[in-house]
Amino acid sequence: MDSLGFCTAIITAAGSGTRLPGLLKKQYRELGGIPILIRSIEPFITSEKIDNLIITAPEDDLEHTEALIGQYFEDIDKPYLVIPGGMERQDSVFGALQSCPEGTQFVAVHDGVRPFVSQELLDELFSLVHREKAVIPAAKLKHTIKHVDGDYAVQTIPRQQLIQVFTPQVFSYELLLNAYLEAYAAGFTGTDDASLLERLGIKVRYLLSSEFNLKVTDEADLFFASQLINKNMI
């Protein structure tokens, strides 16, 4: 490992996948013959920036998740832990933060249904986090954004100062853990990890990155992800 410090990757895969119906939860659905979760984990298994992994999974799928990891990463020499997720994503991440090994200095939190993370992105994020302490991948918005009231669009929101954000989001471990403790104390629930820091006035650096780093949430996402693989665009 380099001089960055001890790094843990947290992969959140405890969702029920209700927006992508089927016999299998979306994290276990296959893309190009490989489960989405395995594609999402693989960059962290192979990255020299990551020392160990914690994967959150549905409680009734812990053994299945362990078996998949053993099947696809038979020769894995990087420590990993599969733990039950919580009621919400935020609960899962908090549980994983509390399970991080002693000495963890940085954490990368990643959605278990984002299968197209590149090594280049991981390298760029970790090159910044040592100085910035909180870094997230992002892309500019292309579409017009409207504020609505009921069934009516009432205002166009300037998009020049807006971004869409992805994962992995990378942080100083102590900074993120403290933000989680503060959020629970205040009863605050965020839509991503960075929002817990933002509410405390902590600046979060963003890094413009590939829009192909999509989250497989519904059938449209699954179709698009399959096309990227079929056309060798990933």
Distance CA 51, CA 99 (A): 14
Question: Quick one: how many helices (H) and strands (E) in the chain?
Answer: 7, 12
Domain extents for the chain?
A: 7-230
Q: Check residue 75 and give its pLDDT.
A: 87
Query: Chain-centre distance of CA 14, in angstroms?
Result: 12
CATH-assigned architecture of domain 7-230 = Alpha-Beta Complex (3.90)
Kindly give the confidence (pLDDT) of every residue in the chain, 234 residues in length, as a single tens digit, with 9 standing for 90 and above. Answer: 444 579 999 999 998 766 666 778 999 999 999 999 999 999 999 999 999 999 999 999 999 999 999 999 998 889 999 999 999 999 999 999 999 999 999 999 999 999 999 999 999 999 999 999 999 999 999 999 999 999 999 999 999 999 999 999 999 999 999 999 999 999 999 999 999 999 999 999 999 999 999 999 999 999 999 999 999 988
Q: Check residue 3 and give its pLDDT.
A: 47
Q: Check residue 132 and give its pLDDT.
A: 96
